[in-house]
Structure 1
Amino acid sequence: MAKYIERGMTVALPVDYAGVSMAMTREMIRHGANDLHLVCVPTGGLQVDQLIGAGLVRTVETSAVSLGEAGGAPRFNAAVKDGSIRLMDATCPAIHAGLMAAQKGIPFMPMRGLIGTDLLRHRANWRAIDNPLADGGDPIVLIPAIKPDVAIFHAPMADRFGNVWIGRRRELAAMAYASSITIVTVERIVEKNLLADELTAAGVLPALYITAVGRAPRGAWPYGLWGEYPPDTAEIARYAQAARTVEGFSRYMTNVRSEEVS
């Protein structure tokens, strides 16, 4: 499914607890499409760090990138420090507002919470204006629509009709609605129509919004997946230690590929 990802694309990726497709991360690295603009919805972690370490990333738009309890994201931190990637600072509400604008087909979404922050000095494409419906003295910030080329995430299941069950992870739906292409890996494919079942229908992302689905058991590992398995915190910590250097990162990624083959 990595064939859908081309050089220079904007790629939306979910927060670590929402269903990260680490299976697709490895396929993206093998595929090698680079110069990517990553949009973290709304923060990034291991997936983003590995894509940066593999040299595939030009820009990261995010409100944070870290490995949680394992500490900072080492390849991200190094890339910001040496200037090899461009960082577009954002906030969680701003990321969601940009996606919401895209899914509604409008050029921007207004927000108030950014007034008075220094982020406005660093984001030339965020515009502070006077509220045109007020008599003056009521500033508001316009967040431009974020329109990813591709959204990628992992979910517990899809049905044979292409519908994907995302439960209450509505940020995944927002990513799919805003993106031109949506790629999903899942733990399993079920025979029944998930939209026809009252118990699952409310949490289903219809096939209309899905470009490709692939079965990848434990496809979020070493992250966890809600209702399926917990995160492998020891493995994430092992990566955090190894990836402090370019050489350590390379060894870690080579070993992961070797384990997959074996």
Structure 2
Amino acid sequence: MSIKTLQASGLVQSVAALAAQIHDGAKVAVPPDYSGVAMELTRALIRRRPHGLHLVCVPVSGLQAEMLIGADCVGTLETSAVTLGEYGTAYRFAAALKRGDFRMLDATCPAVHAAIQAAGKGLPFMPLRGLLGSDLLKNRPDWKVIDNPFADGGDPIVLLPAIRPDFAVFHAPYADRNGNVFIGRRRELVAMAHASRESLVTVEEIRDVDLLASEETAAGTLTAAYIGGIAEAPRGAWPLKLWDIYDYDEAHIRLYCEAARSEDGFARYLAEHVQDSRQAAE
């Protein structure tokens, strides 16, 4: 397949067209900041303002979840953490959580990974032992404790229902002319894609290569069978980093953190850096 054929297939779309597929109430899986976050797609999504998204962070999130929550797009948040790390407090997340603006499903990193893997394997649940003794079990009635059926008794284990997102959303360096996407060693992206109905992916570029033709690239490639749409978005993870290709824009993230201390400041940030997409790209 040539790049022109791929573009004509309908798989290659605009960032806005990818955002338009994410409907109200959709369950959306997103990766941690270091894996490849589709921030340009996130800004397009905020411009659309879908309501009641069930955001699944695999296993944590930062700026992406913070901005979607601040823009009132999230109805349920399933994560083990939302943090901006050394850059400051996730103020819009914290304020919305205190107000009860969304349903919070507390988890742990192993729990999120296990539930995502269950869906990818077509299983209804996944057992996990490490949650026993934690207060999380009091707040997650959907997690069930049973006796290990292969033991003689006295061996409890937790069953986690599979997490089956409608969409996995992430950013990657490039796709090939057949719609395959290079994800390198980011195996959480594989798990997200396998668990989800389809993946919506932004990439730095589409290259006229076949990623599956080489053993070196095939091992780090997500095949087109899992892809529902691809959009070219140069620096599409900005202001977050993309692997070792470009780093965090620390000055901009600090600017965001300062603005997001208040609702008015957050609204001004959106008006300047999200609503005007051309300015945001600069």
TM-score range, shorter chain: over 0.9
Decide which of 89, 92, 98 is 1:81's aligned counterpart.
Answer: 98
Tell me if structure 2 keeps the 8 A contact 1:182–1:211: yes
> Closer, same or farther in 2 for the Cα pair 1:258/1:83, shift >3 Å?
closer
Deviations 1:142-175 (A, max 9, x none): 0100000111000011012100000000000100
Distance 1:107 1:52 in 2: 29
Report 1:134-213 matches (<5 A). 134-213=151-230
Q: May I ask how many residue pairs the two structures share in their alignment?
A: 262
Unaligned runs of 5+ in 2: 1-17
Aligned pair 1:249/2:249, yes or no? no
Tell me if structure 2 keeps the 8 A contact 1:65–1:72: no
Deviations 1:52-72 (A, max 9, x none): 111111110000001111122
Distance 2:257 2:236 in 1: 20
Once the two structures are TM-superposed, the CA of residue 86 in structure 1 deviates from its matched residue by 1.2
- After TM superposition, the score normalised by the length of structure 1 is 0.98
- After TM superposition, the score normalised by the length of structure 2 is 0.91
Distance 1:112 1:16 in 2: 27
Q: Read off the aligned partner of 1:51 and give its amino acid letter.
A: L
Decide which of 240, 244, 248 is 1:227's aligned counterpart.
Answer: 244
Runs of 4+ aligned structure 1 residues displaced above 2 Å come to 257-262
Distance 1:105 1:184 in 2: 23
Distance 1:86 1:244 in 2: 22
Root mean square deviation, CA, Å: 1.0
Aligned pair 1:105/2:122, yes or no? yes
Distance 1:147 1:199 in 2: 30
Greater RCO structure (CA 8 Å; 6+ sep): 2
Which stretch shows the higher mean deviation, 10-19 or 229-238?
229-238
For the residue of structure 1 that corresponds to 2:269, the secondary structure is helix
For the residue of structure 2 that corresponds to 1:199, the secondary structure is helix
Tell me if structure 2 keeps the 8 A contact 1:131–1:139: yes
Aligned pair 1:96/2:119, yes or no? no
Matched residue, 2:3: none
Percent identity between matched residues is: 58
Decide which of 238, 251, 254 is 2:255's aligned counterpart.
Answer: 238
Matched residue, 1:44: 61
Decide which of 32, 57, 79 is 1:15's aligned counterpart.
Answer: 32
Distance 1:257 1:206 in 2: 31
Unaligned runs of 5+ in 1: none
Matched residue, 2:231: 214
Q: Read off the aligned partner of 2:46 and give its amino acid letter.
A: I
Distance 1:180 1:219 in 2: 23
